[in-house]
Amino acid sequence: MEKPKSLVVYPGGKREEYTMEEYFHKLNLANDCLAGCHLSWNDLVAIATDYTGLRHKVMQEESDLVDMLQKAIRDNKVSVIHSIRSRTKDTTHLVEKIIRKINPSCDNKSYFKYKDLTINNYTLFITDLIGVRLLLRYRRDWEALHNFIISEFENKKGNYISDYIKAYKPDKYKYIAEKPIAYICNGDENIYPKRIIDHGFGDRYRSIHYIIKFGVYYAEIQVRTIFQEGWSEIDHDNRYPYWLDDHSLDIFSKVFSKISAVADEMGDSFVKLHPETQHKPCKEAERNKPDSETLTQSVKDSLIKSNL
């Protein structure tokens, strides 16, 4: 049996080296998490080494994608974007994600999708090597951004990934590679009509996801409001993916999610109160806008519904 090698990564440009045991401990992975997997620890080390050499190319595509989006804002092709955040997946978390996806346990729904992943094709399986977040002020702005994305990236069912190896189209520069989906909670259906975008339901997570091919690699674009982003960032730092069952963290996450939802409701109320947002003469807007008592009651109803 081949001697286990060390995993070398460079977070922030600083060299770090881990044995298998040290890596599992760092990421709170079970000691037997590779049991039954078709890839060994040394296979993962080889993928990490390959990706470390490749990562600068992925980072360049991330930069090109962000530049394209920023140019669209400057050219007034899409004006609703509040801000853009982006990252290229680091080597440590690439390996961690592969371990989660190739585990053959019965509760891993991704196993059959990833059972053919190897060092020669892993970039075809990992569709978020590049991650971009597009943040909005108001929930209502999502549709304008959605229309921009599906016009900028070819959106055809024939481009959607069914087989990670066979579906890759090297001759196409830009296209949407999975059907866009809005992850919503109960009560959000009217904001994100199903006739426009498919729904995925969760008990607190809200975000619209697009998997695109841009250049050589896949990228994931997530669209959220600034309040949804605040909840997601703190929840991700403290719970995902290894502390999802912690009861105390779970309670705080639910409350925080409800607070962010109410904040979005209040943002909508500001829009309804402000005459200029209705694109009407001031006098007409004054006659037609909801009175403050009605909107205050709407916010109170949201708080009651959220048990806050």
SS3 of the chain: helix, strand, coil, percent, to 5: 45, 15, 35
CA distance linking residue 193 with residue 235, whole number of Å: 27
CA distance linking residue 34 with residue 113, whole number of Å: 17
Nearest to 82 by CA among 10, 126, 133, 147: 133
Nearest to 115 by CA among 98, 92, 97, 129: 98
CB 66 within 8 A of CB 84: yes
| Encoded tokens for 183 | 């992850």
| Encoded tokens for 151 | 């016009």
**For the domain with range 7-238, which CATH number is right: 3.40.50.12160, 3.50.50.60, 3.30.460.10, 3.40.50.300?**
3.30.460.10
Tens of each residue's pLDDT in the chain, 308 residues:
689 999 999 988 899 999 999 999 998 898 999 999 999 999 999 999 999 999 999 999 999 999 999 999 999 999 999 999 999 999 999 999 999 999 998 788 889 999 999 999 999 999 999 999 999 988 889 999 999 999 999 999 999 999 999 999 999 999 999 999 999 877 788 889 999 999 997 667 788 999 999 999 999 999 998 877 766 666 656 556 555 566 566 665 666 566 666 666 666 666 666 666 555 444 444 455 555 555 555 555 655 554 55
Domain coordinates of the chain in residue numbers?
A: 7-238, 252-305
CB 132 within 8 A of CB 85: yes
CA distance linking residue 217 with residue 129, whole number of Å: 7
pTM for the full predicted model: 0.81
